[in-house]
Structure 1
C-alpha cells in the first residue's frame, strides 16, 4: 500500500514540475524547437499517429468521452467519501488521474505551444500593415480564387463539390504536405491520414470543424461541412499533427499545404480560407473597401460563400456559444494571444508572405 501511495504522490508532484517547466520554456522557443518539436516529440507524434492509423475509425472519439466520464465518476466518489470516509484517499486518486492526463498532454504535444513561431521558421517578417496593403492582399487572393474556381467541379446548384467526397480528400491531403516539406522541412514526416468524426453532424452544432487529440495523434475532421472547406480543414488538423499547436498558425500552414497541392480543388480551398480571414479583417477596418471587393467575386465564388453561410446558419445556437467560450478559455490558457500583430496572426502571416513575394 505504501509503495502504491508513493508512486501516486510522485505522479502528482510531476504536475507542478511540468507546469513550471512550461512557464520557463516559453522564454526559450529555440530550445523547444530544436530539442522537443523537431526531435524527440516529432518521433513520438509520428509513432503514435502511425499506430492509431491502423484503426479505421477515430479512437479519440471514444477515448475523450471515456476520460471525461471517469473524471465525473471520480468527483461523485469524492462527494460520497465525505460521508462514508476515505476522502483523502479519493483526493489522491483523483489528483493522480488528473496529473497523468496533464503530464501526458504536455509530453505528447503541449510544449509545442512554446516552439518558434512559424514566421521565424518560414523567414517571414511580420510588420504593421496599412489598410491599403490589406486591401491589395485581399484583391490578390480574390483574383486567384476567381481563376481557380473555373477549374473545380460544381453540383447542380452551382456550388463547388468534391466528387469523391471526404474519403477522396483524406486520401490526397498528404500531397500538399509532401510539396510544402521541401520548402519547410518542419512540415515533413510520416503520419496517419485524417479521420472522419462519426458524430460530425452533432459536432456542427458546436461550430467545431475538426479536432486534434494528442493522446491518439489523430487528425479528426468534421465531415459535415461544405465541400470547399473540407481540404483546408483536413490540412489544418494535419498541421496540429505536425506539432504546430497555435490555431492561427495551423490555419496559415493549411493555406500553404493546400496552395502547394497539385490539385485545383485543394488550391481553391486554401485560397478561400485565406480570403475568409483577410476579408473579415478588412471589413473590421474599412467597410467601404470591403464592399468594393465583394463586387469582384465571380458568381461561382459568391455561390460557394453564400452556401457556406447558409449552411452554418442551421447550426447556430446556445451550444455553439458555450463551445466557443470553452475553446477560447483553452486557447488563452495556452498563451494564444497576438502581440504587436495588427490583423491577427493568420492575416499578418499572409501579409508578410505577400510583401515578401512583391
Structure 2
C-alpha cells in the first residue's frame, strides 16, 4: 500500500509540471486568486508561526534536508542497482512533494502580472527621461549624504547593528502603503542567515526561503548594503518574486522610511541602477553626470565593491549561472540580466508620481 501511494505521488510530478506551465499563461488569474488571494494568508501564517524565532528556522531545515539527503543516498546506494525502480520512485516522491510545496507556498508569484502592468505604467523610457530621474536621485542622494556627514567627501557609516536594521526596515513599508494600499508587512519575519559565510562566497547578499517565508539577509555584508537588502527580501515575502520588482519595491520602501540612513541607502540604491544604465547607453554622458555626485557617495559604492572583490572565488560564477538558470525556468527570461528592468520601473514610476 505504501509503495502504491509513493508511486502515485511520484507520478503526480508530471501533471503538476504541466499545470504550472499552463497557469503561467494566465497571469491575471495568478495575480487575482493567488498573489492577492491565497498567498496573502499563507505568507502571514508562516510569518506568525516563525517570525518570533530569533534564528532562521528555514536555514535549519535546509541543513537537516542536506544531511538527510546525503545520508539517504549513502544508505540506499546499493538499491540503485538492486531495486532501481523503487529507488527512483522514492526520489521522485520527495521531488514531487517539494515541488508542490514550493509553488503553493510562494513559487506561483513568479507567474503573476508584471509590475508595470499592475501599476499601469510604461515599460519603455527615453534616455532623456532616464537622465532626468538620475539627476533627481543625485540631488536627493547628495543632499541626504551631506545632511548626515556635513562633508561631501566622507562616506556614510550607518550607525546601527544589523539586527537593529532588520527591526527598522519594516517602517518603510508603512510609508509605502500610502502609494501601494495593498502592501502590508506584518508580522515581521526577517533573519540574519545562519549561512552568511557560504552565501557571501556564492555572491548573494540574501534570499527568501520559499518553504518557510523567512527573509534571510547575509550578516557579513556592509551595513550600508544590509539596509536595502533587508527591504528587498521583505518585498519577496510580500509576493514580488521577480528580482527586479523586489529591487524596485525594496528601493521605494527604503526611501519611504523616516530614518535618514534608510533614505540615503534607498536613493543611492536606485541611483546605482540608473547610472549603470546611462553608462551602457552613453559612456561620455555617464562621465559627465557622475562628476556631480558627492565623492562620499562614490566611496559607499566603492565600499560594497571592495567587499565583494575580497570574496571572489572560482566557484561563484557557477552559483550565479545556476541561479540565472533558475530564474529563466521561472519565466524570468533574461535570467540575472533581468535585474535591469528595475530601471524601467523606477524611471516611469518616478516620472509619473511625485514620490521623492
1:1-358 superposed matches below 5 A: 2=1, 4-77=2-75, 79-83=77-81, 85-127=82-124, 129-152=125-148, 158-337=154-333, 344-357=340-353
Shift of the alpha carbon at 1:178? 1.6
- Partner Cα separation in structure 1 for residue 260 and residue 117 of structure 2: 29
Residues 154 and 161, structure 1, Cα contact 8 Å, conserved in 2:
no
CA distance change for structure 1 residues 280 and 108 in 2, over 3 Å: closer, same or farther? same
Cα distance in 2 between the residues matched to 1:94 and 1:143 = 56
How far is 1:78 from its partner? 5.3
Deviation at 1:294, TM superposition (A): 1.5
Instruction: After superposition, give the CA deviation of every residue in 1:57-85 in whole Å (9 maximum; x if it has no partner).
Output: 111222123323333444445541144x2
The Cα of 1:163 is off from its aligned counterpart by: 1.8
Judge conservation of contact 1:153–1:163 (CA < 8 Å) in 2: no
Structure 2 spans left out of the alignment, 5+ residues: none
Contact 2:244/2:339 (8 A) holds in 1: no
| Cα gap change, 1:185 to 1:7, in 2 (>3 Å) | farther
Q: Relative to structure 1, is the Cα distance of residues 199 and 342 closer, same or farther in structure 2, using a 3 angstrom cutoff?
A: closer
Helix, strand or coil at the partner of 1:223? coil
SS in structure 2 of the partner of residue 220 of structure 1 = strand
Please tell me whether the aligned partners of residues 259 and 268 of structure 1 are also in contact (alpha carbons under 8 angstroms).
Answer: yes
Question: Cα deviation per residue 1:218-267 (whole Å; 9 max; x = unaligned)?
Answer: 00001211222111100000011111110000000001111111111111
Which stretch of the first structure deviates more once superposed, 210-219 or 13-22? 13-22
Q: How many positions carry a matched residue from both structures? A: 352
User: SS of 2:208's equivalent?
Assistant: strand
Distance 1:145 1:235, change over 3 A: same
Q: Secondary structure at the match of 1:303?
A: helix
Distance 1:81 1:275, change over 3 A: same
Q: What is the alpha-carbon distance in structure 1 between the residues aligned to residue 324 and residue 67 of structure 2? A: 23
Query: How far apart in 1 are the matches of 2:132 and 2:178?
Result: 28
Residue 168 (structure 1) shift: 1.4
State the Cα deviation string for residues 20-44 of structure 1 (Å, max 9, x = none): 1211112211111111111111101
Further displaced range: 313-322 or 102-111: 313-322
Gaps of 5+ in 1: none
Provide the secondary structure at the position in 2 that maps to 1:344: helix
Q: Is the 8 A contact 2:46 2:212 kept in 1?
A: yes
Give the superposition deviation at 1:278. 1.2
**1:103 CA displacement:** 0.6
Q: Structure 1: how far apart are the matches of 2:103 and 2:127?
A: 39
1:199, 1:170 → 2: CA distance?
A: 17
CA distance in 1, matches of 2:98, 2:73: 16
State how far apart, in whole Å, the 2-side matches of 1:232 and 1:278 are: 16
Shift of the alpha carbon at 1:351? 1.4
**Aligned partners of 1:105, 1:188: CA distance in 2, in Å?**
22
TM-score by length of 2: 0.92
**Over residues 263-307 of structure 1, what are the superposed CA-to-partner deviations in whole Å (9 max), with x where a residue is unaligned?**
111111111111121111111111111111121111221221122
Deviation track 1:185-213 (CA, whole Å, cap 9, x = no partner) reads 33214232311013323421111000101
Residues 179, 322 of structure 1: alpha-carbon distance in 2 compared, 3 angstrom cutoff:
same
TM-score calculated relative to the size of structure 1: 0.91
